Amino acid sequence: MTDVIRLFGPLLLWLASFSAIYGLQGVLCAGGWNRTVLVAAWVFVVALQVVPLILLSTERFGASAGFIRRTSLALAVVGVVAVIWTLAPVAFLTACV
Protein backbone atom coordinates (compact mmCIF):
# COMPACT_ATOMS: atom_id res chain seq x y z
CA MET A 1 0.00 0.00 0.00
CA THR A 2 1.56 3.28 -1.01
CA ASP A 3 1.52 6.38 1.13
CA VAL A 4 -0.85 8.17 -1.24
CA ILE A 5 -3.44 5.42 -0.85
CA ARG A 6 -2.94 5.46 2.91
CA LEU A 7 -3.62 9.19 3.01
CA PHE A 8 -6.48 9.51 0.52
CA GLY A 9 -8.13 6.09 0.80
CA PRO A 10 -10.32 6.72 3.86
CA LEU A 11 -11.67 10.01 2.53
CA LEU A 12 -12.28 8.58 -0.95
CA LEU A 13 -14.19 5.75 0.69
CA TRP A 14 -16.28 8.35 2.56
CA LEU A 15 -16.95 10.18 -0.72
CA ALA A 16 -18.11 7.00 -2.44
CA SER A 17 -20.25 6.06 0.58
CA PHE A 18 -21.79 9.53 0.68
CA SER A 19 -22.76 9.33 -2.98
CA ALA A 20 -24.09 5.78 -2.66
CA ILE A 21 -26.27 6.49 0.38
CA TYR A 22 -27.78 9.63 -1.13
CA GLY A 23 -28.39 7.79 -4.40
CA LEU A 24 -30.01 4.94 -2.50
CA GLN A 25 -32.22 7.43 -0.69
CA GLY A 26 -33.45 8.75 -4.03
CA VAL A 27 -34.20 5.26 -5.28
CA LEU A 28 -35.99 4.35 -2.07
CA CYS A 29 -38.08 7.52 -2.08
CA ALA A 30 -39.04 7.07 -5.71
CA GLY A 31 -39.94 3.42 -5.26
CA GLY A 32 -41.64 3.72 -1.89
CA TRP A 33 -39.41 1.05 -0.36
CA ASN A 34 -38.94 0.33 3.31
CA ARG A 35 -36.63 2.66 5.24
CA THR A 36 -34.95 -0.36 6.86
CA VAL A 37 -32.90 -0.84 3.70
CA LEU A 38 -31.41 2.64 4.10
CA VAL A 39 -30.59 2.10 7.78
CA ALA A 40 -28.96 -1.24 6.97
CA ALA A 41 -26.92 0.40 4.21
CA TRP A 42 -25.82 3.11 6.65
CA VAL A 43 -24.69 0.50 9.19
CA PHE A 44 -22.80 -1.34 6.45
CA VAL A 45 -21.09 1.86 5.30
CA VAL A 46 -20.04 2.74 8.87
CA ALA A 47 -18.57 -0.73 9.31
CA LEU A 48 -16.85 -0.45 5.94
CA GLN A 49 -15.35 2.90 6.93
CA VAL A 50 -13.88 1.38 10.12
CA VAL A 51 -11.90 -1.17 8.08
CA PRO A 52 -9.22 1.32 6.88
CA LEU A 53 -8.82 2.56 10.44
CA ILE A 54 -8.14 -0.97 11.64
CA LEU A 55 -5.87 -1.79 8.70
CA LEU A 56 -3.84 1.39 8.98
CA SER A 57 -3.16 0.73 12.65
CA THR A 58 -1.50 -2.63 11.88
CA GLU A 59 2.17 -3.14 11.06
CA ARG A 60 1.43 -4.81 7.73
CA PHE A 61 -0.68 -2.05 6.17
CA GLY A 62 0.35 0.96 8.23
CA ALA A 63 3.07 3.34 7.14
CA SER A 64 6.49 3.05 8.69
CA ALA A 65 7.22 6.79 8.66
CA GLY A 66 5.94 8.65 11.72
CA PHE A 67 4.28 11.59 9.96
CA ILE A 68 2.53 9.49 7.31
CA ARG A 69 1.40 6.96 9.92
CA ARG A 70 -0.10 9.61 12.22
CA THR A 71 -1.70 11.52 9.36
CA SER A 72 -3.23 8.45 7.73
CA LEU A 73 -4.66 7.29 11.06
CA ALA A 74 -6.05 10.78 11.71
CA LEU A 75 -7.66 10.84 8.25
CA ALA A 76 -9.15 7.39 8.85
CA VAL A 77 -10.72 8.69 12.08
CA VAL A 78 -12.00 11.73 10.19
CA GLY A 79 -13.55 9.36 7.62
CA VAL A 80 -15.38 7.40 10.33
CA VAL A 81 -16.67 10.56 11.99
CA ALA A 82 -17.67 12.05 8.63
CA VAL A 83 -19.63 8.96 7.60
CA ILE A 84 -21.49 8.92 10.89
CA TRP A 85 -22.10 12.68 11.01
CA THR A 86 -23.13 13.27 7.40
CA LEU A 87 -25.10 10.11 6.72
CA ALA A 88 -26.97 9.51 9.99
CA PRO A 89 -29.61 12.15 9.17
CA VAL A 90 -30.22 10.52 5.79
CA ALA A 91 -30.65 7.11 7.37
CA PHE A 92 -32.85 8.13 10.27
CA LEU A 93 -34.86 11.21 9.22
CA THR A 94 -37.73 11.16 6.78
CA ALA A 95 -36.81 13.12 3.67
CA CYS A 96 -39.23 11.68 1.14
CA VAL A 97 -41.95 14.13 0.16
Asked if residue 17 belongs to a domain, the reply is yes
What pLDDT shows up at residue 59?
85
Q: How does pLDDT run along the chain (97 residues), one tens digit per residue?
A: 588 888 899 999 999 999 999 899 888 888 877 788 889 999 999 999 999 999 988 888 887 878 888 998 999 999 999 999 999 888 888 777 6
Number of domains present in the structure of the chain: 1
pTM of this structure: 0.85
CA dist 13 to 23, 45, 47, 50, 65, Å? Answer: 15, 9, 12, 10, 23
Other Cβ atoms less than 10 A from the Cβ of 16: the count is 12
Q: How far is it, in rounded angstroms, from Cα 62 to Cα 45?
A: 22
Residues spanned by the domain of 52: 3-92
Give the residue among 55, 54, 38, 42 at the shortest CA–CA distance from 82. 42
Asked if residue 97 belongs to a domain, the reply is no
What pLDDT shows up at residue 1?
57
